[in-house]
């Protein structure tokens, strides 16, 4: 047993070394961080910075890249977090125990979280709908929303928060990001001729982006709260 | 060395300490807390490097939600690494 363990350790070390070698070799060949003449900065970034605000449709360049230039990647990410919840719910559902109660917290913490809740929710909404001009957007607002739901279920106990919607409605809420994104992709195809295309007309484009951000935000927040419900055993699915 | 670079060095040193600490610790609850601190320092690095979008996500997800998720799971599976 001991000899086998040692062999396993040596093997693991050899494997890691074999993996680390090429990785370090690759990293050493990367251009210096922040160097202006790296290919990515000289071509792609320069183009985004120069014309991104108008062609991406958002003053916040990050949002322009996320929702427009790299919309397919973002769509993938939205699907990934939804799938993460599906997997967590499937695994946790098998070992679920119900009736867990609120962890006793000090009255000060309890009061502060209850009092802050509405403000955190308002901030989340603000971050979501202002994603095209200010730092933030659907993802960021969504995680703030999810954090607020988790905080509330820590003080109130998960049951009242999880019970705010039926399990079916929670499932639909969690799918919002994926569904809204897919819908805008098709709308983009109809309006511009490209999947994920955003129309050039400013008002239409902005409203489409805000709907998209709201979908990602609500879906993301519901997924994160769902992950918490799944691991703490309150909600089967 | 400019003060900006100095701040970066301090933050990176903190990150390194945190990462080594997480690998060495045997108490899983302590790991989760150190991970949370690590994420918060990472959030400062992002903010300092001019990436507020990423910093916001790092603060909410890294320092907040994953810590709660880790602690919840640790409370169900036991605290000591076997």
The answer to whether residue B73 is domain-embedded is: yes
The answer to whether residue A69 is domain-embedded is: yes
The answer to whether residue A52 is domain-embedded is: no
Total domains in chain A come to: 1
Contacts of A137 by beta carbon, 8 Å cutoff, 6+ apart: A60, A62, A63, A66, A67, A127, A128, A131, A213, A216, A217, B53
Interface predicted TM-score (ipTM) over 0.85: no
Total domains in chain B come to: 1
Tens of pLDDT, residue by residue over A161-210, are 888 888 889 989 999 999 999 998 888 888 888 788 777 777 888 888 88
Range(s) of the domain holding residue B15? 3-77
Q: Is the pLDDT of residue A96 over 70?
A: no
Is any Cβ of chain A less than 8 angstroms from the Cβ of B19? no
How far apart CA B31 and CA B65 sit, in angstroms, is 15
The answer to whether residue A118 is domain-embedded is: yes
Closest CA to A121 of A152, A80, A166: A152
The answer to whether residue B82 is domain-embedded is: no
The answer to whether residue B48 is domain-embedded is: yes
Residues of chain A in Cβ contact (below 8 Å) with chain B: 60, 62-63, 127, 135-137, 139-140, 143-144, 146-147, 150, 154, 224, 227-228, 231-233
């993996």: which residue's tokens? A19
Is any Cβ of chain A less than 8 angstroms from the Cβ of B60? yes
- Highest-scoring range by mean pLDDT, A168-172, B36-40, B50-54: B36-40
The answer to whether residue B14 is domain-embedded is: yes
Closest CA to A224 of A171, A162, A150, A167: A150
SS3 labels along A48-74: HHHHHHHHHCCCCHHHHHHHHHCHHHH
The answer to whether residue A20 is domain-embedded is: no
The answer to whether residue A38 is domain-embedded is: no
Range(s) of the domain holding residue A202? 59-232
Q: What is the pLDDT of residue A58?
A: 74
What is the mean pLDDT of the segment spanning A125-146? Answer: 87
Q: Is the pLDDT of residue A103 over 90?
A: no
Tens of pLDDT, residue by residue over A15-59, are 999 999 999 999 988 887 767 777 777 777 777 777 777 666 677
The answer to whether residue B10 is domain-embedded is: yes
Phi, psi of A59 (to 5 degrees): -65, -30
């Amino acid at each position: 047993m001991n000899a086998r363990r040692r062999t396993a350790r040596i093997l693991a070390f050899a494997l890691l070394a074999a993996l680390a070698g090429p990785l370090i070799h690759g990293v050493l060949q990367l251009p210096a961080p922040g160097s202006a003449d790296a290919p990515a900065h000289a071509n792609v970034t320069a183009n985004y910075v120069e014309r991104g605000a108008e062609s991406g449709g958002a003053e916040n360049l990050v949002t322009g890249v996320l929702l427009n230039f790299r919309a397919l990647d973002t769509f993938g990410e939205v699907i990934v977090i939804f799938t993460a919840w599906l997997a967590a719910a499937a695994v946790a559902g098998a070992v679920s125990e119900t009736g867990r109660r609120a962890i006793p917290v000090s009255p000060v913490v309890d009061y502060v979280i209850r009092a802050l809740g509405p403000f955190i929710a308002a901030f989340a909404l603000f971050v979501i709908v202002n994603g095209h001009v200010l730092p933030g957007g659907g993802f960021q607002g969504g995680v703030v929303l999810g954090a607020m739901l988790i905080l509330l279920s820590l003080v109130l106990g998960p049951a009242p928060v999880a019970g705010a919607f039926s399990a079916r409605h929670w499932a639909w809420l969690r799918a919002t990001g994926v569904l809204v994104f897919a819908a805008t992709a098709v709308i983009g195809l109809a309006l511009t001729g490209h999947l994920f295309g955003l129309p050039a007309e400013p008002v239409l484009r902005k409203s489409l982006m805000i709907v998209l951000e709201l979908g990602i935000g609500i879906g993301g927040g519901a997924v994160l709260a769902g992950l918490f419900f799944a691991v703490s055993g309150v909600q089967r699915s | 060395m400019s003060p900006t670079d100095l701040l970066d060095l301090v933050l990176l040193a903190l990150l390194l300490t945190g990462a080594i600490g997480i690998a060495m610790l045997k108490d899983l609850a302590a790991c989760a807390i150190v991970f949370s601190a690590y994420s918060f320092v990472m959030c400062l690095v992002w903010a300092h490097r001019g990436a507020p979008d990423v910093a916001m996500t790092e603060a909410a997800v890294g320092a907040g939600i994953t810590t709660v998720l880790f602690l919840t799971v640790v409370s169900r599976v036991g605290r000591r690494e076997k």
